[in-house]
Amino acid sequence: MSKYSFDEIVSHLKSSGFVYQGSEIYGGLSNSWDFGILGAALKKNIKDLWWKVFIETNPYNVGIDSAILMNTKTWEASGHLKGFADAMVDCKECKSRFRADKLIQDAIDLSVEGKTFEEMDAVINEHHIVCPDCGKFNWTNARAFNLMFKTYIGTLEDAKSTVYLRPETAQGIFVNFNNVARTSRKKIPFGIGQIGKSFRNEITPGNFIFRVREFEQMELEFFCKPGEDMKWYQYWIDTCFNFVKKLGIKEENLRIRPHDPEELAFYSNGTSDIEYAFPFTDWGEVWGIADRTDYDLKKHSEYSGKELSYLDPDTNEKYIPYCVEPSVGVERLFLMICCDAYEKENLENGEERVVMHIHPSIAPIKACVCPLSKKLSKEASELHAKLVNEFACEYDEAGSIGKRYRRNDAIGTPFCITYDFDSLEDNCVTIRDRDTMEQKRIKIDELSAYIKERIKF
């Protein structure tokens, strides 16, 4: 776990422009966050990297971008209309509302995944769990609370015009299975991925951007032959875990947690979560990898009346493919990356520096050109203008060079380029490494290639 408090990390992210409070000038909106200048860049880089690794360069997968609003039958088929409900309890004294499983977990550190509402009530009573807000013990029974946001299409607000904001991107993939199979001409095994917004009316959002009501998911539905699903399940667990490790996340802060049989959905052959030791909890889910068998395609086939199966062109065998789903939230990855990257160091000269060791491939800014003196602005700006076409590059001439280094360390810029008076003569600059703070002289002509080589994933 990070040795820094969550408050310290969050405060750094807010003050340096990664995340702003949503609707701040109106007093905010509970648990809504806006991504600032650096946050928007980091988020985009995370999504671009996922797309590159999981879609563009992956031999099996293709990508789509489906609509947020879908025919309501989708949610009947997927079970979200009936079953996408958390157990919630209300405190009858102060009217606060809590998710029953979270209330129990926080109070007595017990997981109640897979337990019925009655069983959760029993645990609350047996352990005399009191309301965290008012300290009283006077609960309603656990009740279902549907997490889907409802809205209306057209001018009439009635049952017929009701639609839902999608609570996951996966269903947009399942309903397009035939379209993709036809237009991609992929053979099984193949995967369909997408990145997009999802919405859940979470009862207890919180821990900054860890649990929010509006978030982005990067989901892959990987279709394979029945019987080969467990092989691919393991393949995707390994692939996702390696992705996170390659991003430089410390291994001691990571674990893979296979779900116990009683936690598994009845149709699942296996589910594992990649978890991170966030500073606010022991372990928090970042990435879920689930073997969903043929459940989703079967359900959509049943509700739509359309056949969603696969005809093997080599064997003429027809079957409904099994599906393995690796699903991750962009905000969760973002938060994990930031918690892991944050460091406060005491330097030899007695100064303190905050440094974000964000993997260079996703760092919001890759390099910053710093003229040693304002007299060098013209030449340094010209260098910046050249580099900014190659990668995200900033220009900074304000304050001492030390201050500029500190500022860039704190936002995770991997390289600072100092243009000095010698540069005019020798056509070289000093390049400083964020992590090691080492500086070396390098030819301007070689600068772009030098940096590009080091910002690869």
Q: Which of 293/408 has CB closer to ligand ATP?
A: 293
329, 360, 364, 414: which one contacts ligand ATP (CB under 6 A)? 329
Binds ligand ATP (CB under 6 A): choice among 43, 102, 166, 200: 200
Nearer to ligand ATP, 331 or 394 (CB): 331
Q: Which of 45, 327, 408, 423 binds ligand ATP (CB under 6 A)?
A: 327
What does the alpha-carbon distance between residue 266 and residue 61 come to, in Å, rounded to a whole number? 27
Nearer to ligand ATP, 12 or 211 (CB): 211
Q: How far apart are CA 125 and CA 105, in angstroms?
A: 14
**Closest CB to ligand ATP among residues 289, 355:** 289
Site string for ligand ATP, 130-169 (x = CB under 6 A): --------------------------------------x-
Report the distance separating Cα 314 and Cα 262, nearest Å.
39
Query: Is the Cβ of residue 328 or residue 356 nearer to ligand ATP in the bound state?
Result: 328
Distance of closest approach, residue 332 Cβ to ligand ATP, in angstroms: 4
Sheet with 393-395, edge to edge strand ranges: 393-395, 367-371, 415-419, 428-433, 439-443
Tokens standing for residue 432? 């400083």
Residue 35 in contact with ligand ATP, rule: CB under 6 A: no
Smallest separation (angstroms) from ligand ATP to the CB of 236? 13
Total binding residues toward ligand ATP, as defined by CB under 6 A: 16
Handedness of CA 16, 245, 326, 3 (dihedral sign): negative
**Binding flag, residue 106, ligand ATP (CB under 6 A):** no
Residue 58 interacts with ligand ATP (CB under 6 A): yes or no: no
DSSP 69: B
Cβ closer to ligand ATP: 53 or 442? 53
Q: Please report whether residue 212 would count as binding ligand ATP according to CB under 6 A.
A: yes
Q: Which residues pair with 45 in a beta bridge?
A: none
Residue 35, Cα to own-chain centre: how many angstroms? Answer: 13
Residue 320 sits in the site that holds ligand ATP (CB under 6 A): no
Burial of 296 (0-12, 13-18, 19+ CB in 10 A): buried
Q: How far apart (Å, rounded) are the C-alpha atoms in residues 324 and 234?
A: 10
Closest residue by Cα to residue 417 from 426, 436, 397: 397
Q: How far is the CB of 271 from ligand ATP (least distance, A)?
A: 9
Q: What does 382-404 look like in DSSP terms, one character per residue?
A: HHHHHHTTTS-EEE--SS-HHHH
Binder to ligand ATP among 331, 340, 396, 409 (CB under 6 A)? 331
Closest CA to 246 of 60, 52, 8: 52
Cα–Cα distance measured from residue 58 to residue 444, given in angstroms and rounded to the nearest whole number: 35
Binding site for ligand ATP (CB under 6 A): 168, 200, 202, 211-212, 215, 217, 285-288, 327-329, 331-332
